[in-house]
Chain A
Amino acid sequence: MQDLVSFLNSQLQTVFGLSETLFPYVAAAMVLAIAFGFTVFAAVYAGVFIFFERRIAGRIMSRIGPNRVGPQGLLQFIADAVKLIFKEDIIPTSADRPLFKLAPYLMFIGVVAGFAVLPFSHRVIAADLNVGLLYVLAITSITVVGVLMSGWASNSKWALFGGMRSAAQLVSYEIPSGLALLPAVLLSGSLSTQEIIMAQAGSPEHALTAGGWPWNWYIFHSPMMFVCFVIFFIAQLAEGARLPFDLPEGESELVSGYNTEYSGFRFGAYFTAEFANTWIAGALCVIVFFGGWQIPGAAVPSAEAIAASGATWTWFGYSIEYAGWGAFWLEALSFLFFIVKMAGVVFIIIQLRWTVPRVRIDQMMTICWKYLLPLTFACLFLILGWMIVLPWESTAALVVRIVMALAGAVLLALYAWRVRYNIHSAGDKVYPHWII
């Protein structure tokens, strides 16, 4: 973020002749604007996510989904938000009023604050902490307190049962989701999200080994790493209370779980938080396992070179000045790469919601403690051995990674073929035929 601010400052100076004494004020204003931007981004993302979820649900169920408000129904979420704002804010008489009012804030803040360390490109990140990964895990664990608080404060049986179940689920799955990220920390030697992304690169000398290619992604490092990704993905589904782990608000048994008594925008805050949480889940997958925002073939300038000024990106033999507008477009491109990978992960999260049934609470606990946890430890120690036998820089490791990446491509093709087959066999003719 400081990089970004100083870059914009220098642009303002050269383009508009801004005097240097104004820099701190411009910087402060920009930092505030960027913080605001991140927050609004989280809320708008949640809205867009809801639109896509409803459209994809429509496709899977052979119906149309929302298509009236705005082009293709894209503005439906704004209509929904306005409706929620105009609703009455009901607080049950038996509720603990202050706690009841406070609980949605905790959920919302816990999720939005997680966005601060998730990078969109090399310079677009609110705060690149050296404990970034731990920060996300820590701040999102605040939502557990929000869930328990809302369940208890509502003083309603449904809300209380939902809150307790939800808390048990959220805390249980925090363990495998935290431990499944560990191999990436072992490989990169850092907890900073940016450093983990930039470590997913081979030798910067050649465009085919530089960062961003699938064979540099950590998911293809070894078979165990792929298992770790699956564990992490399952754990994140449970953390976000997405199907098949939506027990906290299982509509058929708990009415709506911990948010049963909520109405109006307090209810909306819960759902904004829940949907914004899919961004955190998807972004963590992309950052840790899919190479983050890196562009295939582009070698990121080293931190020393950036500090010394005059640094350049190297991309297929071209040198692009780090402090110039060329790098700006390059970063826009890397944001695009990030979003495309994100969309892939989020699509699978949505698709799972409409294709698998809910698990029971005992199954949920069994999956976590008896399968995921021992499996994570097994993977962890196998990866340790793998790292010692096949160091990241060795040619043999690169060959293994390429083979793994090819296997991954085959898997992806099979998945795409299967989805296409299912759509065709349903005899679906909903327009547009090939998207959403």
Chain B
Amino acid sequence: MSAFFAHSGLDSVEGWFFYLGAAVAVVGALMTVLSRSPLRGALWLIVSLCSVAVLYLLLGASFVAAMQVLVYAGAIMVLFIFVIMLLNLGPDAGVRPAYLSVAKVLGLGAAAYFTFQIVTSVSGGKAQAVDGTVKAVGTLLLGNYLFAFEAISVLLLVAVVGAVVLGMKRLT
């Protein structure tokens, strides 16, 4: 029994926090896709993303955890909700049944594939805490991953231009 606790990480407070965070993340993700109302789904997604932030904290990646909350829960969710309001997606905003069955097949297939990948790739060892401080992240970004870093700004530029072109289209 004690071997089980040690192996599963339940012998430490961190372990308990991990399982709590992981469980909430999974439940939140399930509720996101199972909610009838798009807005409720969006809010369940926040729950899921915030519990992933807790998992990052447990790994020692405090910067990524803060970013997770700031960008996903704070910014992307606001965008989602604005889009829901823009498209006026009520709880009864259905999709065509034909699309729905295709989506079900694709979704279940993808879920099965990822589950298989995760189960076969788990090595059994505990994840090592990383140096996730702001300094470590910054040094990597501006050193090793400089090209990706600068490419992000181009990506963001494209996002702005695309949104403005789509959003500012005038009636002719």
Contact = CB atoms under 8 A, between A and B. Distances in A.
Given A99-B43, A152-B39, A145 B73 contact: yes
Given A130-B62, A152-B39, A141 B75 contact: yes
A131 B70 CA distance: 12
Query: What range describes how many residues of A lie at the interface?
Result: 20 to 34
Contacts of B43: 99, 145, 149
Interface stretch (B3-11, B77-85, B99-107, B140-148): B77-85
Contacts of A171: 74-75, 78
Interface in A44-58: none
Interface in B62-109: 62-63, 65-67, 69-70, 73-75, 77-78, 81-82, 85
A238 interface: no
A330 to B, nearest CB: 30
Contacts of B63: 131, 134
B115 interface: no
Interface residues of B, number: 22
B74 A144 contact: yes
B66 A164 contact: no
Interface string A119-153: 00000000001110011011101101100110010
B70 A144 contact: no
Contacts of B78: 144-145, 148, 167, 171
B46 interface: yes
Contacts of A142: 69, 73-74
Contact of B81 (A134, A137, A152, A191): A152
A331 interface: no
B74 A174 contact: yes
A99 B66 contact: no
A135 B63 CA distance: 9
B62 A129 contact: yes
Interface in A152-177: 152, 164, 167, 171, 174
Contacts of B85: 152, 164
B133 interface: yes
B159 interface: no
B115 to A, nearest CB: 30
B160 to A, nearest CB: 12
B133 A130 contact: yes
B99 to A, nearest CB: 26
B111 interface: no
B70 A134 contact: yes
A103 to B, nearest CB: 10
A138 B69 CA distance: 6
B66 A134 contact: yes
Nearest to A167: B78
B134 interface: yes
Contacts of A96: 37, 39-40
Query: Counting chain A CB atoms within 10 Å of each CB, which of B37, B67, B70 scores highest?
Result: B70
Interface in B26-74: 37, 39-40, 43, 46, 62-63, 65-67, 69-70, 73-74
Contacts of B70: 134, 137-138, 141
Contacts of A167: 78, 81-82
Nearest to B85: A164
A152 B78 CA distance: 12
Given A99-B40, A164-B85, A171-B78, A145 B46 contact: yes
When A and B form their complex, which 4 residue pairs have the shortest distance between CB atoms, in order from nearest? A141-B74, A138-B70, A138-B69, A134-B66
Interface of A: 96, 99, 129-131, 134-135, 137-139, 141-142, 144-145, 148-149, 152, 164, 167, 171, 174, 191
Given A141-B75, A145-B78, A152-B81, 4 more contacts: A96-B40, A134-B67, A138-B67, A167-B81
